[in-house]
Amino acid sequence: MTKPQTKVESFQLDHTAVKAPYVRLITVETGNKGDKISNFDLRLVQPNENAIPTAGLHTIEHLLAGLLRDRMDGIIDCSPFGCRTGFHLITWGEHSTTEVAKALKSSLEQIANDIKWEDVPGTDIKSCGNYRDHSLFSAKEWSKKILSEGISDDPFQRNVI
Ligand SMILES: [Zn+2]
């Protein structure tokens, strides 16, 4: 095999057709024993028009790890896209995009308004793989921008929650 043979849904999405910020359900997978796992696209900025700089994105990542778990059950992982326009959210079970969008909005509000540097987890050499590359200032400013635009629970039309 010379190239990847599996078509991945994320690369089938027309990234020029979406209207960020939004939450999109990518897929629900069912395991052999019936357990379900959901994969969401948490798109914070418009693809090919914006990208969150790595330090701010990194700090948002560390904060969402706890803030989303405070607000939703069943979270497995929330990791940034390589294009730096948002995050994958993987969960046990099924959740509506409205529920996820509300949890994301509330988490970004806490980052923008309440979080202090000492509240950011994993900012030293023992607890992070690139601890020098954090910016709470950037995380707060990008959170404010995303919130000012509103988070839609539909990727193709603005249905701000
Ligand atoms: Zn880190």
From first to last of its 161 residues, what are the pLDDT tens digits of the chain?
Answer: 678 777 777 778 889 999 999 999 999 999 999 999 999 999 999 999 999 999 999 999 999 999 999 999 999 999 999 999 999 999 999 999 999 999 999 999 999 999 999 999 999 999 999 999 999 999 999 999 999 999 999 999 999 99
Q: What does the domain layout of the chain look like in residue ranges?
A: 17-149
| 17-149 carries CATH number 3.10.20.30 | no
Residue 7's pLDDT is 75
Q: What is the pTM of this model?
A: 0.93
Q: Are 152 and 23 in contact (CB under 8 A)?
A: yes
CA of residue 79 to ligand 1 center, whole Å: 11
Name the residue type at position 76: I
CA of residue 102 to ligand 1 center, whole Å: 25
The tokens for 38 are 């959901």
CA of residue 130 to ligand 1 center, whole Å: 6
CA of residue 127 to ligand 1 center, whole Å: 7
Residue 5's pLDDT is 76
Scored b (16 or more CB within 10 A) or e, 106-116 reads ebbebbbeebe
Q: Are 50 and 85 in contact (CB under 8 A)?
A: yes
Residue located via tokens 């914070």 = 44
Q: Annotation-wise, does 62 bind a ligand?
A: yes
Give CA–CA dist 71/53, Å, rounded.
26
Residue 7's Cβ-side half-sphere holds a number of Cα atoms within 13 Å equal to 3
